[in-house]
Structure formats: structure tokens, C-alpha cells
Chain A
Amino acid sequence: MLKVKNGDLDKLGLLFERHHRPLFGFMYRMTGQRELSEDLVQNVFYRILKYRHTYRGEGEFRTWMYHLARNVIHDNGRTLKRTIRHEEITEQTEWVSGEMATDAPMQKKQEMALLKRAMENLHPESREVLILSKYQELKYHEIAQILDITEGAVKVRVHRAVNQLKNAYLELAN
């Protein structure tokens, strides 16, 4: 990223190659809309270019990228609604773990649908922290940097989010 900052813009291609899939996953889980998520990913990388001079090289590029990603989502506005509704994904080829969708027993499929519903109903703040921690595989100290809060606050927030999700799921299941 420092090379990009110093004018070697082609080096951004490497960063895109490395990060665009996880970032797309983040965007999709945050918004539930596939096309929008792709647009948002583009938007993030555009901002990386535009604001490359603000990158200080402190900490990981990843945390800076997610920081920008959150701003992009925030600016998009409509994605910060209290609840989201994931589009129905019918084409199995679109799934990363596609084979599971076909081979999984009926019960498992139902469970997944419920969990998805539970996630959708989660407070955006809780959902975000869960996604960052669980799917983006970010450590608490990284999440703390991205959200600009203390590591202790991240710990509490993640725990609360997990409990909310668990309760919401159990409520739906029973």
C-alpha cells in the first residue's frame, strides 16, 4: 500500500486481488444485496486510490480498508437500516460452499435459514462486529482500530452480539 501511496498505482491490483473477495463477503453480509455489494467494493477501492495519501502505514492495510468500507456503507445510507433482507439465492453455483446446499439434510437447511433470519434481525452494530470477528477473521485489537473503540469494548460488544444472535435463533427455532 505504501507503494500505491507513493504513486505506483498498479500495485493496487495486487491489493485488490488479495482483498476483494473477503471485502465482498463483508459487504454482502452487511447489506444482503449482491450487486450493491459489488458496487460498494468498487467504491472502497476507489476511495483507497483517492485517499491513499492519508494512509500512514501504521497498522495493517486491512484495518484501514475496513475503516473505509464502513464509511462507504454509511454513506450509502440505506444499508444501515435496522433490518436487512437477504436476496434469495437460488442458483447453487453462486455459493462458495455450494455442495452443502444440495447435500445438507433438510434439518440443517432449515437451521441455516433460521440463523440467517436471526442475523438479519440483529442490530446493525452487533451484526457488524460479529461479521468482522467471525467472517473477516479480524482480531479484537484490529476491530478496535476499525471501529475506533477500545479492545475491551470490542470484547463486550462481540459477546453481547453472540448472545443476541443465540437468543434470536432459539426464539425462532422454538
Chain B
Amino acid sequence: MMKCGNDKAMITSWLNNEMTAAERALFEQHLAGCPECSAELEATQRVWMMLEEMPSPAASDNMPVRFQAMLESYKESQQKSGSAWGSLVEKIKTIWTAQPGMQLAFSVTVLIVGVAFGWIISNQGASHKEIASLSSQVKEMKEMMMLSLLENPSASERIRGVSYTSEIKKANSEVIEALLATLNNDPNVNVRLVTLEALMQYATESAVREGLVKSISKQESPLVQSALADAMLKLQEKKSVPSFRELLQQKDLNDAVRNKIRQTITELI
């Protein structure tokens, strides 16, 4: 028998139908002239066919049932644990839903923060408004008190009234008018001097300055005249010069005052 040099694996490939049409044709051609290969093929084929006949057990019917159970439990576990990307969100959700206390704590915190914030805001506004209204009320009261005190027959009470002006930073025209009237008409020298001092703190207002200049000719007390001279010098009020010159014409003017006024005039000019 001639030794066959053909690839024996071809036999199995032929049996397994793992050949191209060309390969198959070539192999079958060889097979016809090679008893060795055809004998081997026959033996192999026999075993091959027997394998096909070899029975196998059928899968039991509960396999699909088991599968469904497995699938369901897997889906459940997926919903609980979540996939890779959603695991964090799932985790938070799990914690969130698993602990109602956390939800409550969160709600309470939000509520407290909100209430506190609102309280601070409204309180700030309220306090500002309250203080503003309170201070204006106090101011009004002081002005009223001052004005009523200026009408008081007691000189000491009138002085007390005038002294309230130190607490009134920005006096209204009514207060200034009242003070100027006191300066010009009050019978008590001390009251007039205190009033002059009080008016000096509003000297930036032109009405006050004009009133003070006019008051120069109306004063008879040497003390007040002297105080006015000092005041005009302090304010460097040049408009007061004619009033002072007029005052110098008065024959009964105090010598000390006359000297002081002359000095004031020269300093102002």
C-alpha cells in the first residue's frame, strides 16, 4: 500500500463540512485514488455517526422557572444597588428613603434658616424704622418741651428749655424763631446769653446769622452786647459791622463794650 502524504486532518474537516468547495473537490479526487485515506475516513465516519446517535438527557422543565426567578431577583438587586454610573445616586436615594429622620432634619433645618433669615431681615427694617420714628418723636417732644419751656415764667426753666437745643442737632425754623425771639425779648440776661450760645451752634444757617446781626441793635445789656461782639468775631460776620457802628452811636453805651465793639469792627474789616 502506498504511503499517503495527504493531511489526515482533511478527513475530519470533510466530515465536519469545514471545507470550501474547491478543497472538497480536491480531497474527494484524492480519496478516490487513496485506499489508506478512504479506509481511515470510513472508520472515522463510523465513530462520527455513532456520536450523533448518542443520546443526551433533556433539560428539566424547572430550568426556565429557575431562570425567571434568577432574573427577577437580579433585577431587584439592580434596582437596589444600581449600575456602576448610577450607584452614587442610588446610594444617596437609598440613604434618603431609608432614613425618614434625615428628611425631617433637613426640612426642620430649612425651616429654621428661613425663619431666622426672615426675622433678621424684618427686624433690621423694623428697628431702623422704629428708631427713626422714635428719634423723630423724641425730637418733636424735645422741641415742644423747649418751646413750652421758653414760655415759662421762671428764668431757670427757660434756661432749661434753651439747653434742650444742645440735643437738637438740626433745628427747624420754628425752633430758631423761638430762640431768636428769646434772645431779643427775654427779660433775663442769663437766659439771653444762654440763648445766644444755643443759637451759635446753628450759625451755619443764614437765617440764624441774619437774626443775630439784627439782634445787635436790640440788645441793651452790656453783657449780651459784648457776647454778640465775640460771636460775630467768631463767625467772621462782616454784615454785622453796620449794626455795630449803629450801636456805637448810642451815647449811653458801656465804655468797655464800646472799646470791644471798636476792636471787633477793626478785626472784621
Contact = CB atoms under 8 A, between A and B. Distances in A.
B55 to A, nearest CB: 5
A159 B67 contact: no
Contacts of A170: 43
B50 A140 contact: no
B233 to A, nearest CB: 98
A163 B57 contact: no
B52 interface: yes
Size category of the binding interface on chain B: 20 to 34
Given A42-B70, A50-B74, 8 more contacts: A9-B78, A25-B59, A38-B59, A96-B58, A134-B48, A135-B56, A162-B47, A169-B47
Interface stretch (A11-19, A54-62, A75-83): A11-19
Contacts of A13: 67-68, 71
Interface of A: 9-10, 12-13, 16-17, 20-21, 24-25, 28-29, 34, 38, 41-42, 45-46, 49-50, 53, 89, 94-98, 100-101, 108, 111-112, 115-116, 119, 130, 133-135, 139-140, 155-156, 158-159, 162-163, 165-166, 169-170
A159 B9 contact: yes
B60 A45 contact: no
Nearest to B46: A166
Interface string B40-75: 000110011011111111111001101110110011
B146 to A, nearest CB: 86
Nearest to A170: B43
A20 B62 CA distance: 12
Contact of A134 (B51, B57, B78): B51
A159 B12 CA distance: 5
A24 B63 contact: yes
B11 interface: yes
28 contacts: A9-B78, A13-B68, A20-B63, A24-B63, A25-B56, A28-B56, A34-B60, A38-B59, A49-B74, A89-B57, A95-B57, A96-B56, A97-B53, A100-B55, A111-B50, A112-B53, A115-B47, A116-B54, A130-B51, A134-B52, A140-B16, A155-B13, A159-B13, A162-B12, A162-B47, A163-B8, A165-B47, A169-B47
Contacts of B71: 9-10, 12-13, 49
Contacts of A139: 18
A155 B10 CA distance: 9
Contacts of B78: 9
Q: Per DSSP, are chain A's interface residues mostly helix, strand or loop, or mixed?
A: helix
A20 B60 contact: no
Nearest to A12: B71
Contact of B55 (A34, A96, A119, A134): A96
A133 B9 CA distance: 14
Contact of B44 (A46, A95, A116, A166): A166
A29 B140 CA distance: 110
Contacts of B51: 115, 130, 134-135, 165
Contacts of A46: 70, 74
Contacts of A95: 55-58
Contacts of A25: 56, 59
A46 B53 CA distance: 32
A161 B30 CA distance: 23
B137 to A, nearest CB: 73
Contacts of B74: 9, 46, 49-50
Nearest to B72: A9
Nearest to B78: A9
Interface string B129-159: 0000000000000000000000000000000
Nearest to A168: B47
A49 B44 CA distance: 40
Chain A CB within 10 A, most for which of B12, B44, B67, B75: B12
Contacts of A97: 53, 55
B44 A163 contact: yes
Contacts of A16: 64, 67
A9 B73 CA distance: 12
